[in-house]
Amino acid sequence: MMILYSAPRSPYARKVRMALLELDLGERVEIRSVNPFDNQPDHLATNPLARVPALQLPDGTRLCDSRLILDYLDETFAAATDPGHRDWAQRNRIVLAEGVMDAACGLVSEERRPREVRHEAAAWRLEDVLSRALLALEASSQALSAELAGRLEITLCCTLGYMDFRLSAIAWRAICPTLADWFGSFSQRPSAQRTAPR
């Protein structure tokens, strides 16, 4: 049995939970919900970085990053979560989607800081990164599928869902109407519905 350390509102952990559902691996993994700031000993033993997600394999091997975990799932379970893994343009889109996720999480962290120590220039730069990368993804949105759940689709769904949940003031749909239409369809998938942040 695999053990996944997860947090319900983490977009990184959500990526892995969605992939597990798409691969029909729910009965082969125990999901343990943790607060990364609580420093639970079993979580820290699996990921000394105190981040989620972290996956412990049945043989005791520990994987402590969402990208690495998805690589493992792809290689072990017939590349089902990454059908475009040999397509360099597709892989670049995946990196863009992951970068948007990183920027969105960074912006949320910056906004949570007390106003007197908030770094406004850093926040502006993150917002700029978000806009540029989303526009690049909008321009290549023909590569997205609402029927298939590849690495790009899962990552982008988790990213946009996180932005809706934590950064609702950013009107990304206004500049990315095609992405918005795709997200509206893709987010109806059972795996997206079951893992949506609340």
d(CA 182, CA 177): 9
The CATH architecture to which 88-189 belongs is Up-down Bundle (1.20)
Instruction: Report the topology of domain 2-76.
Output: Glutaredoxin (3.40.30)
Q: Answer whether 197's CB lies under 8 Å from 157's CB.
A: no
Q: What is the residue extent of each domain of the chain?
A: 2-76, 88-189
pLDDT digits (tens, 9 = 90+) for 68-117: 999 999 889 865 445 555 688 988 999 999 999 999 999 999 999 898 88
Ranges assigned E (strand) in the chain: 2-6, 29-33, 54-56, 62-63
CA distance 169 to 43: 33
Q: Give this prediction's pTM.
A: 0.92
Mean pLDDT of the region 115-126: 90
When comparing pLDDT for 138 and 87, which is higher? 138
